[in-house]
Amino acid sequence: MGKVYITGAGPGDPELLTVKAFKIIQNADVILYDRLINEEILNYRKKEAILIYVGKEDGKHTIPQQEINQFLYDYALQYDVVVRLKGGDPFVFGRGGEECLFLAERGIEFEVIPGVTSAISVPAYTGIPVTHRGIASSFRVVTGHEAPDKENSSIDWESMKANETIVFLMGLHNIEKIMDKLIQIGKNPKTPVAVIHAGTTENQLVIVGEIDNISKLAKDVPTPALIVIGDVVKLRDKINWFDAKLLKC
């Protein structure tokens, strides 16, 4: 019986892969990978490693989660090292916990290898720190998949009136509803917002606006994209180091 490694691949830049993740990918017999990983990372595998794509897209699940869980179990019975490779960190809206529970209930050994989450690294690559002294002393990460008008929402919208940084992951399709909800609860409509596509890569695209106009400004931005809300967005003009680096290349 083998072992499953629930592994974070980081936000996109292959150099942000952790050393531990790099080593286990090199040793993997089977790699089940998601849509949002940088496929350059797969080049680190040994030639005989089996690659299985199990990516999900918004509104379209190529393979249901239950089947992915079963794949992990079945391959662990046949191979020594099975890697479940996820974009960002496996425990930040990555359903890594569900996979761990499934394996634990069936007696399969597993290990979690955390990844650099896009919630922090993607804003950083645009010159936006999620916290900054005198501007934001806290931040929260929120799923953007859940529609703001959903009944019995698990999201505490009212508390978002606080002066902190809010990062929405996977929220592009709901961006208009999210912004309307924030205005509805009393958030200042002129609060700065950034929408970031393909963060940490050379294809990175950043659209900056405010709560009351970002939906229109970002209407043509492709997925995947991340939304950052808060006064820290204003710092981008002063510490936008990544664009400056690309210009020198």
Task: Report the catalytic residues.
Answer: 34, 56, 170
Provide DSSP, 87-131: SB-TTSSS-HHHHHHHHHHTT-EEEEE----HHHHHHHTTT--S-
Edge-to-edge strand ranges of the sheet holding 109-113: 50-53, 30-33, 81-86, 3-8, 109-113
List 84's β-bridge partners, or say none. Answer: 6, 32
Give the separation between CA 98 and CA 101, rounded to whole angstroms.
5
Q: Which of 178, 174, 179, 177 is CA-nearest to residue 190?
A: 179
Which tokens in the block code for residue 194?
């950034």
